[in-house]
Amino acid sequence: MGKRFDSGARTGVVIVGAGPAGLVLGNLLLDQGIDCVILERRRREAVEGRARAGFLAAHSVRVLAQHGLDTGLLARGRTHRTCLFRSEQGEFTLDYGELGRGEVHTVYPQQELVRDLLAEYLRRGGELRFGAEVEEVSEGRVRSRDGSEITGRYVAGCDGHRGVARATLAAQGTRTARWDHGVTWLAVLAEAPPSLAAVGYALHARGFAGHMARTATVTRYYLQCPRGTDPADWSEDRIWSELEMRLRTAEFGALKQGPVLEKTVVDLRSDVLDSPGAGRLWLAGDAAGLISPSAAKGANLAVLQAERLAQALTLALTRDDESGLARYAADCLPRVWRAHEFSHWMSTLLHGPTAEDAEARYGRALQYARLDSLRTSRTHQDFFAENYTGI
């Protein structure tokens, strides 16, 4: 249990949320000698155990390495440089590590990264309070549901898409641009070794299916399903049967099956705040904008924003210079929007219509034309590689 802060306690930066954005930010601020406190509503076990995305782009790995946050990643992370596509036209593999900028991904489950970042933050002397359910942020003052308060010169909202920090900015008039991709995934975590040597994307008339390795014994799968789907309606037998059909195992080999550890439904939606902060409140990660998981950009945007926000807050707190905060939006938003554009493009590639009317047939034909262009055009492949691994 972290320290309980009495009313009136003060620090340099109050960070709301102990996800990747908040923990990277906290570690980078401590690196610069800046006092900070992280308030997290969940228990430590829940924070460290939540299975999420596991693809780190080259920039994210560089940031972690530069600040001594990559020990676990170096020991247990695995480099990925290829992805494969399956459809009724067959299968092809892209070695994106040889294309574009020649960058690769490092596969490292997000819960392991969070455990590393949390342990390092505490080792460096950072203050972290679990079970602190923040209900109000105002002028640098953060009040929790239990009545305790803490004040910082700045507040960093890293408490996610539905957090108090984002709601506070929205109430102050910050506008949001949003998009519903009209797609839903059944996300499945299976205690089963990876069945493919690469990330696998399968296009099928019944909907998209995806295969993403997490560890040597755990694999993430995705199945496109109707909006409003109840995960309880999907038995293990149904999940594996549908995965085998869409991943075309009759043609390319059986899947390595195992118990389903988790199944949840994800509606693919995206949004971006016009400005990620103002005055004494600044946001990073999902609090600043939600991105569809189609291209695995969420955690990488969180690291990018935490890095830039740490630089800006350090300048403000050590030199009384807020020019970095004034530039924070301009530094981040062009990259954020480029990530959103590629994620949206990936969504149109992976998800075709599943109906049988004339418009659906037209939409599926366009989908396969996009895939064929990616298979045959080196220019298209370089574009894909640069944006797939970039941020």
CA distance 345 to 142: 39
Q: Is 193 a catalytic residue?
A: no
Which DSSP string corresponds to 78-145? EEE-EEEEEETTEEEEEEGGGSTT---EEE--HHHHHHHHHHHHHHTT-EEEET--EEEEETTEEEET
Which is the catalytic residue, given 20, 80, 105, 204?
80
Neighbouring residues of 68: CB distance < 8 A, sequence distance ≥ 6? 120
293 is annotated as an active-site residue = yes
> What is residue 356's three-state secondary structure?
coil
297 is catalytic: yes
**Catalytic, out of 204, 297, 344, 351:** 297
Q: Are strands 78-80 and 105-107 parallel, antiparallel or unpaired?
A: antiparallel
**Catalytic annotation on 256?**
no
Listed in sequence order, the residues at least 6 apart from 96 whose beta carbon sits closer than 8 Å to its beta carbon are 81, 82, 83, 104, 381, 384, 385, 388, 389
Instruction: Give whole-number Cα distances, 222 to 111, 185, 201, 284, in Å.
Output: 19, 6, 9, 27
What the block records as the tokens of 5 is 């802060």
Q: Which of these is catalytic: 121, 201, 222, 328?
A: 201
Beta strands in the chain (DSSP E): 9-16, 36-40, 55-56, 78-80, 82-87, 90-95, 105-107, 127-130, 134-138, 141-144, 149-157, 176-190, 199-202, 209-213, 219-225, 260-273, 277-278, 281-283, 289-290
**Residue 228, amino acid:** G
Please identify which of the residues 20, 109, 276, 293 carries the catalytic annotation.
293
- Does residue 3 carry a catalytic annotation? no
Q: Are 157 and 283 in contact (CB under 8 A)?
A: yes
**Residues labelled as active-site residues:** 80, 201, 293, 297, 388
